[in-house]
Amino acid sequence: MLLGENGALLGSATAEHAPFASPRTAWAEQDPADWWRASQEALRAVLSQTGVAADAISCIGLSGQMHGAVLLDAGGAVLRPSIIWCDQRTEAECRWLDDTVGRDRLLQLTSNPALTNFTLTKLLWVRRHEPDVWSRVRHVLLPKDYIRFRLSGEHAIDVADASGTLMLDVAHRRWSREMLDAVGVDERLLPAVFESPAISARVSREAAALTGLSAGTPIVAGAGDQAAGAIGMGITRPGAVSATIGTSGVVFAATDRPATDPRGRIHTFCHAIPGRWHVMGVTQAAGLSLKWFRDQIVGGATYDDLTAEAGRVEPGADGVLWAPYLMGERTPHCDPNARAALVGLAASHGRGHIVRAILEGVAFSLRDTFSIFSELDLPVDSVRLGGGGSRSPLWRQIQADVYGRAVDTVQADEGAAYGAAILAAVGIGLWPTVDAACDALVRRATVTEPRPAQIAAMNHQYAAYMRLYPALGSIHG
C-alpha cells in the first residue's frame, strides 16, 4: 500500500500466499518463504501500478500476523515451517509454564498468562519435540519481522508485536530477562526491540534487486496486525475501542497504563504509540466461522448471498445459537480444547437462520470482552468497527444491537497496512506524533445506531449464549 505525503492512497496491491496447513488436529503452520514471495510480488505490483519511482519512497512500514515463530539457523535459513498464531498444540507447555514460573509470576513478568497462541510456548514445544531443530536455532523472528530480515538482513521487532511472545516485560517495554532465565531461553536468540515508529533497518541491495525498492530506504519497526490496525482506525487514546472481525475477532482498547486482568482473560500489550499500552480480547474464529460455513458446509454461495438470507431472519435467529469455538477460544475462556456448536435447530429453520446465528454468535463472543472491560473500569467512549466484518451492513447492525452502542467505520478500511504506513510517516517526521497523524488522516465513514427493541432481543439471546460454553464443556471435557 502506497501513501502520498498528504496521506492519500496512491495505490495498493495484493498477492496471495498459501493458507495455513494443519497436518494434525489444532495445528497451524505456514512457510515463511511463501510470505516473502508474496511480499515481493505485491511490492513490484504497487510500484508498477502507481508509476512512483523507487527513490521517491521515503520510508517503509510493516505489519503482519502476530505470535508466529520463525526459526532461523546461523546462516538465516528457515529451519521448519512457522507455527502460527492460531496453532493450539502447546497446551502441555502452558501447563509447564504455570507449574515452573507460576500463573501470578507470569502476570507480574509479562502482564499475560500462558496461552497456546503465544510465541514462547511454540519455542518450548520445538525444544521438547524437535531437539535437532532447536539445537540449530540462532534467531527467532515473528512473521512480519522475517520480511524485514529479507528486506534488510536485520533482526528487529517492535514492542507491540513482542508483547505477544510472553517474553516481553510489557510494563517496561523490554525483553524480560527474569522470564527468559526462568525458562532457559537465551536472549541472544531474540531480535532487538524498537518502538513502532522508530527506524529499525534499511533496504539492502539484494532486496532492492528483488523488489524494485531503492537500497537504503528506511524501514520503521512497524507493529503486529492488531496494533497497526488500531492505528489505521484511529484507536490511539483511552476510551477509544475497536471491534475488528477478520479471520479472528479482536476488541481492542487503548490505555495510558499497562492494565492487567488478574484472571488473564484479556491480553495486555504495548501499543504502537510510545508510552501507551492496549488491552484486547480475542475470538479465535470470528470471520473464520462464516468462511468455514460457506466453504465446508454450503459451497457455491457468496458472502452476499448468505448475509442477504440472514437479513430476512428476525434478530435472535428464532433461538438458534452458534458457539464460535472452531479453533479453541482465547477470551474469556483461555481454552484450546473448546469446540464449536450450533444448537437450537428445528425443522422450520433454514440456511438464513444458521447464518444469522453465526453472525450473532461472533458478536456475542466479542461482547464478552466488553464485559471484562467494564469489570476493570476501562472506559469505552466510542466503538469503531474494522476488518471484513465491518463491510457488511447487517453485521454492523448486529454488533450495534449486541453491544448496545453506536458503532462507526472509517473511510480507509485497509486496517493494518494503513496503520503501518502511518507509522512510517511518523518515523521520518511527516507528523510529529502518531496521535497527530491519526487526527489528520483517519476519517469516519458510517455510523450505525443500535435499535432499542433489538437490544432487548440481543440481551435475551446473549444470556442464553453465556450458558453454551459450560454446557459444551460437560460434553467435551
* 299 — pLDDT class (breaks 50, 70, 90): confident
Is the pTM of the predicted complex or chain greater than 0.85? yes
452-465 and 393-403 helices, crossing angle to 10°: 80
* 476 — pLDDT class (breaks 50, 70, 90): low
State the CB neighbour count (10 A cutoff) for residue 296.
9
pLDDT of 364: 98
Q: What is the mean pLDDT of residues 289-296?
A: 95
Chain-wide mean pLDDT for the chain? 95
Query: What's the residue count for the chain?
Result: 477
DSSP letter for each residue of 197-221: TSEEEE--HHHHHHHSPPTT-EEE-
Residue-wise pLDDT for 180-237, tens only, equals 999 999 999 999 999 999 999 999 999 999 999 999 999 999 999 989 999 999 999 9
On the question of pLDDT at 414 being above 80, the answer is: no
One-letter amino acid at 136 equals R
Residue-wise pLDDT for 324-377, tens only, equals 999 899 899 989 889 999 999 999 999 999 999 999 999 999 999 999 999 999
Asked if 225 is an active-site residue, the reply is yes
Q: Which of 161, 169, 225, 368 is catalytic?
A: 225
Hey, CA dihedral for 167, 171, 174, 179, is it positive or negative?
negative
> d(Cα 434, Cα 423) in Å, to the nearest integer?
7
Q: What is the mean pLDDT of residues 456-476?
A: 92
Beta strand 29-30 pairing with 82-83: antiparallel
Q: What is the mean pLDDT of residues 368-388?
A: 94
pLDDT of 6: 86
On the question of pLDDT at 300 being above 90, the answer is: no
* 477 — pLDDT class (breaks 50, 70, 90): low
The architecture that CATH gives domain 2-224 is 2-Layer Sandwich (3.30)
On the question of pLDDT at 34 being above 70, the answer is: yes
pLDDT of 403: 97
Rg of the Cα trace of the chain? 22
Whether the bond between 262 and the residue before it is cis, its omega within 30 degrees of 0, is no
Which of 213, 233, 224, 91 lies closest to 157 in space, CA to CA?
A: 224
Give the percent of the chain with pLDDT over 70. 100
pLDDT of 365: 97
Question: Contact at 8 Å (CB) between 179 and 169?
Answer: yes
State in words which class domain 234-414+443-477 has: alpha beta
Q: Where are the domains of the chain?
A: 2-224, 234-414+443-477
> d(Cα 312, Cα 401) in Å, to the nearest integer?
16
Residue-wise pLDDT for 124-167, tens only, equals 999 999 999 999 999 999 999 999 999 999 999 999 999 999 99
Residue-wise pLDDT for 103-122, tens only, equals 999 999 999 999 999 999 99
Hey, CA dihedral for 47, 52, 58, 63, is it positive or negative?
negative
3-state secondary structure of 361: helix
Residue-wise pLDDT for 53-96, tens only, equals 999 999 999 999 999 999 999 999 999 999 999 899 999 999 99
CA distances from 143 to 11, 161, 206 (A): 24, 10, 20
pLDDT of 462: 97
On the question of pLDDT at 413 being above 80, the answer is: no
Identical topology for domains 2-224 and 234-414+443-477: yes
Query: What does the block give as the cell for 227?
Result: 496494533
